[in-house]
Amino acid sequence: MLAWVESPFQLLSAAEWAHAARRRISVAMRLSGPQMESTAAELLRRGAPFDEVTPWVGIPWGKLAADREWLVGDGFSGQFRMTATAIKAQRVVLLDDGANTVALADALLGRTAFRRPRRSERRMNRVLGDFARSRLHALAGRGALEIFTVFPLGEPRIEALGARGIRTARHDFSWTRRAADPLELPSDRLLLGSALPTDGHVPVPDYLRWVSQQASDAPVVYLPHRRELPVVLDAVRNVAGVEVLETGLPVELVLAGIRRPVELVSLRTSASTTLELLLTGTGSVFRQSVLA
């Protein structure tokens, strides 16, 4: 089985699938950012069931053609659509790509177009999306398509997927929890960095004001987002009451090591589901904040 992934969270999802399936897998990872290599190295150190992890730029055509059973990290990606037109997979497992997992399930059900929500696309990409969906439906007809997720899809959606032959499996980070290192923190109050300023959804001055307000209540440990702009992070370092903790790892991999109650504060994030799940049983509190 070959996992084709392009984000740290997808790498973690591949490890969870391999653990749940009791199989060792090979991984082709797209070098999409500095956290990819550090996350892969950390997963291997913790004993992830990977036979090999190979970095790639572009599409790993040779590996995908040689192993037709795929774990796919981003079912909406243009690269996957293109690959689906050229190579017939024998089996596909769709891994988590954040909250897009729910959107992908709806696209497979024909409820929405085969694209990320709120994205416009050129005609060629729409054609490739329709073709990829057709290929995935063919696999579902043979019982060879599965969605493996940590996100709740809801019983009505799961039943609709099952009626189309699409299997679903939900995990709870059991491998991540078991393999985690205990996390010792200088403060029990954590502030989760956000990509909202990076994506232009929140003005940087407003974001820094929010960080300052949170730190004024009590000192915080700040966990940067992997796509956080260096200029923003440098400014956060200068906020009184903030200690920045850079791990080079996805936050789920870090926080799985919490052993005592903490307060975790963030802005709106699709990671709320994963973080609440990871904090279950620790007595911790997860709170989503809003900009004043």
pLDDT tens digits along 44-102: 999 999 999 999 998 999 999 999 999 999 999 999 999 998 999 999 999 987 778 99
Q: Which of 177, 209, 226 is the last residue of a domain?
A: 177
Indicate the pLDDT class of residue 30, thresholds 50, 70 and 90.
Answer: very high
Q: What pLDDT is attached to residue 272?
A: 82
Instruction: Tell whether 118 and 260 lie within a shared domain.
Output: no
Instruction: Tell whether 14 and 135 lie within a shared domain.
Output: yes
Indicate the pLDDT class of residue 147, thresholds 50, 70 and 90.
Answer: very high
Instruction: Tell whether 171 and 54 lie within a shared domain.
Output: yes
Domain total of the chain? 2
Instruction: Tell whether 169 and 185 lie within a shared domain.
Output: no
Q: In terms of residue numbers, what domain contains 264?
A: 180-288
Q: What pLDDT is attached to residue 100?
A: 86
Indicate the pLDDT class of residue 292, thresholds 50, 70 and 90.
Answer: low
No. of helices (H) and no. of strands (E), the chain: 12, 12
Task: Inform me whether the pLDDT recorded for 226 exceeds 90.
Answer: no
End-to-end CA distance of the chain: 48
Indicate the pLDDT class of residue 258, thresholds 50, 70 and 90.
Answer: confident
Instruction: Tell whether 160 and 259 lie within a shared domain.
Output: no
Q: Which of 144, 177, 210 is the last residue of a domain?
A: 177
177-196: average pLDDT: 90
Q: The whole model's pTM is what?
A: 0.91
In 24-167, which ranges are continuous DSSP H helix? 35-45, 61-66, 78-86, 100-108, 123-141, 155-163
Q: What pLDDT is attached to residue 259?
A: 84
Instruction: Tell whether 61 and 87 lie within a shared domain.
Output: yes
